[in-house]
A and B are shown apart, each in its own frame.
Chain A
Amino acid sequence: MHEMSIALEVCRIAEARLAHDKLDRLVGVGVVVGDDAGIEPTNLQFCLDVLLAQPPFHAATAKIARCAGDALRVDYLEVDDDRPRDRRP
C-alpha cells in the first residue's frame, strides 16, 4: 500500500514533467531508492509496472536503482524524442 502511494507520486512527477516539456511518450522512469527509505523495491517495481501500463503512459518501464541512505527520488525520464521534436516551435 505504501509503495502504491509512492508509485502514484512517481507517476504524477513524470506526468507533470512530460506536460511541462510538451512530451507525451514516456519510455522509462529511473527511480532511486535508498536502503533506509522504508520502501520494498520489488513492491514498488510491481506498483510502477501496473501504473505505467495504463494511460497516459505507454507501457513505460520503471528502473529502480538502490543506494545507501534514505534517498527516494525520480532520477530521470526516458522519452521517445521523435514526436516531441516535431511539436516544438
Chain B
Amino acid sequence: MTVRVIDVRERVMARNNEIAATVRQRIEDECVLALNLVSSPGAGKTTLLERTLDALGDEMAIAVVTGDVQTQNDADRIARHTPRLVQAVVTGGACHLDASQVDRALEAIDLAHTDLLFIENVGNLVCPAAWDLGERAKVVLFSVTEGEDKPLKYPRMFREAHYAVMTKIDLLPHLSFDLARAIRAMREVNPKLELFTTSAATGQGMEAWLGFLRREVASATAARLVLR
C-alpha cells in the first residue's frame, strides 16, 4: 500500500457558513430583523416568545422557527399566541440548529410580509454558539435559577451574543442568586453585551425588551421602505 497525503485545509464549518450567508442575504433583502434565541434548557425562551407575541403580535408580523431535540411542544405553545405558522424543527438528537434547517424552515415563511423572525434554538449553551444560522444577532437568555458564573463557564456563547436577557427575576427574593455578580461575569466575557432583565411572569423589565424590538423593527422597516 502506498499512502499519499492530500492537502485539504477545509474549515469544517465552511458549508454551514455558506448556507448561513445565503439565509442572511434572504433575510436582509427583506429587511427582516432575525434574532437567534439561545440558552440552556429551561431558561425561558419559549415563555419570553409567548409574552413577546402577546405584546407585539398586533403591531408587527412576527415569524417563529423553533428547534427542539424531540417533540413540537414549544412550537405548539407558541402557535397559541400567533395566527401565523410556527415552523418546528425537530433535530432528532442534534444539540443545535444548523443553517440548512433554518433555510428549509424559511421556505414556508413569507419573509416579504415579516418584520421580525425569532429562531428559538435548541436549549444548550455550548453547541449553538458554533453554528451560524444567518441571523442578525444571537440573544442569550440567562435565568436567575442558574449559577452566576454561567458566562464564565460558557464564554463562547456569551461572546457570540449581542444581547442578553436575564429571565425570571421575579424569583430573586427566593434565591441566593447574586444578580450583580452575574452581570459582572457577563461584562467580563463580553463588555459590549446589551442587557435586559425581565420577568415574563410579572412583566417586570419586559417594556425595555419590547421597546428594543420596536426600535429595531422600525429601523428595519424604514430600510425596507427606502429599498422599495
List residues of A whose CB falls within 8 A of some B CB.
1-2, 4-6, 9-10, 12-14, 17, 21, 23, 27-28, 30-31, 36-38, 72-82
Q: Identify which of B4, B12, B93, B156 gathers the most chain A CB atoms within 10 Å of its CB.
A: B12
Given A1-B95, A2-B126, also A74-B12 (CB < 8 A): yes
List residues of B whose CB falls within 8 A of some A CB.
1-13, 15-16, 93-96, 98, 126-127, 129-130, 156
Chain A residues with CB below 8 A from B5, complex form: 76-78
A38–B130 CB distance below 8 A: yes
Chain A residues with CB below 8 A from B11, complex form: 72-73
In the complex, which residue of chain A has the Cβ closest to the Cβ of B159?
A36
The distance from the CB of A25 to the nearest CB of chain B, in whole angstroms, is: 8
Chain B residues with CB below 8 A from A28, complex form: 3
Chain B residues with CB below 8 A from A14, complex form: 8
Chain B residues with CB below 8 A from A10, complex form: 12
Chain A residues with CB below 8 A from B127, complex form: 1-2, 5, 38
In the complex, which residue of chain A has the Cβ closest to the Cβ of B13?
A72
Total A-B pairs in contact (CB under 8 Å)?
81
CA distance A12 to B3 in the complex (A): 21
Chain A residues with CB below 8 A from B94, complex form: 1, 4-5
Chain A residues with CB below 8 A from B16, complex form: 9
CA distance A28 to B16 in the complex (A): 24
Contact of B12 among A6, A17, A80 (CB under 8 A): A6
29 contacts between A and B (CB under 8 A): A2-B95, A2-B127, A2-B130, A4-B94, A9-B15, A9-B16, A14-B8, A17-B6, A17-B8, A27-B1, A27-B3, A30-B8, A31-B12, A36-B156, A38-B127, A38-B130, A72-B11, A73-B10, A73-B11, A74-B9, A75-B9, A76-B6, A76-B9, A77-B8, A79-B3, A79-B6, A81-B3, A82-B1, A82-B2
Given A38-B156, A75-B8, also A80-B13 (CB < 8 A): no
